[in-house]
Amino acid sequence: MSKKTILVICPFPKDSAAGQRLKYEQYFDHWESCGYEVTVSAFISQSMWKIVYLKGKYLSKIIWTIIGYFHRFYDLFRIPKYDIIYVHMWVTPFGSTLLERIVRALSSKLIYDIEDNTIVSVSSSVNSIINLLKNSNKNKFLIKTADYVITSSPILNKYCLGLNNKKCKYISSSVNTNKFFPVNTYDNTKKITIGWTGTFSSKEYLDLLNDALVKLKSRCDFKLLIIGNFEYKFPEMDLEVIQWNRENEVKDMQKIDIGIYPLPDNSWVYGKSGLKAIQYMAFGLPTVATNIGTTSKIIEHMKNGLLVNNDKEWVDSLEELIKSPRLRKSLGQNARKTVVDKYSIGAIKMEYFSIIDTLIEE
């Protein structure tokens, strides 16, 4: 019996962007073990991935974008050969819906995986000109016409059901809990480390806590650890900035004692998956997060983390955690159990596979 085939059309190269790595990518092995052959076609090459969030380098970005379009035109000739086309985010980043329409027409079965609230326009301080070129109609067309839509949050799923009222499903981001595991001893024998991880595009969320962290510093001593793909200055803090890389991801995250997840109150955030909270919790870390969107469905206040609404609550919650090893341990251990039970690969993998298998059977 010949293998069924899946072509994944996605923005970023494999094993690079967290939104792909900790979503569908980690299930490729499972799909292949169940008799499917998976091929990945990324719009952005590894070379462009290295510069896409850097300021400037516009000529290189333009050249690599053109190359990305050539890759997509090549895809058009092979799409009919695949049993399922799995589109993540978009077919191409800019312009009209033409290529999305062609891909849909050529696809036997099409699954559309939409991450975060991409139908909402968000400005980029790095590549501000691209906002003029983006077209949310691409997302809307794929939502309407896909054979199945996978969403990253309950609120985004509700929106998609308004466009495709038959086949939309919220599937949470997930982590490999065998790889992401706790080592924290929950004691105060060393300075407590408050940690945040993210990319340049989410750095502005970290900035929301500047005043609260300065006030917290006047009450108690701590270290601030930032894991990202950018440089960060905060003279008032005992600060360490680590450039993220896949090889050291687990070791670097294990340096954190308390995870923080600040978010603003806007439409984009309501579509977010809460992935950062899930990552912290997998490491058994007590997590403090803004009480908004999907995060408030993942974290139960004072059971497996803390939900806060303003700067005062941020300061008070972090101070209590810094001073109380017992509370850190209780919240951290419950957080780990929550992720293993609800947000691990083992807990989520069949949700993806059942969609694929159902479409094949149809």
Residue 33's alpha-carbon distances to 38, 86, 160, 280, 356, in angstroms, are: 11, 18, 31, 29, 14
pLDDT digits (tens, 9 = 90+) for 69-100: 999 999 999 999 999 999 999 999 998 999 99
Domain ranges of the chain: 4-174+345-361, 193-342
What is the Cα 138 distance to its own chain's centre?
Answer: 20
Task: Give the C-alpha separation, 221 to 360, whole Å.
Answer: 57
Contact, 5 vs 36, CB < 8 A?
yes
Strands 110-114 and 223-228: unpaired
For 196-220, what is each residue's pLDDT tens digit? 999 888 889 999 999 999 999 999 9
CATH superfamily entry for domain 193-342: Glycogen Phosphorylase B; (3.40.50.2000)
Residue 178 CB-density burial (10 A; 0-12 exposed, 13-18 middle, 19+ buried): exposed
Question: Each residue of 247-277: b (16+ CB within 10 Å) or e?
Answer: eebeebbbbbbbbbbbbeeeebbbbbbbbbb
Q: What does the pLDDT read at residue 122?
A: 47
More confident residue, 314 or 124: 314
Same topology for domains 4-174+345-361 and 193-342, yes or no?
yes
Cα–Cα distances in Å, from 332 out to 190, 275, 280?
18, 16, 9
Please state which CATH number belongs to domain 4-174+345-361.
3.40.50.2000
pTM reported for the whole predicted model: 0.90
Q: Which residue has the tokens 């490491």?
A: 283
Stretch (H or E) spanning 241: strand 239-243
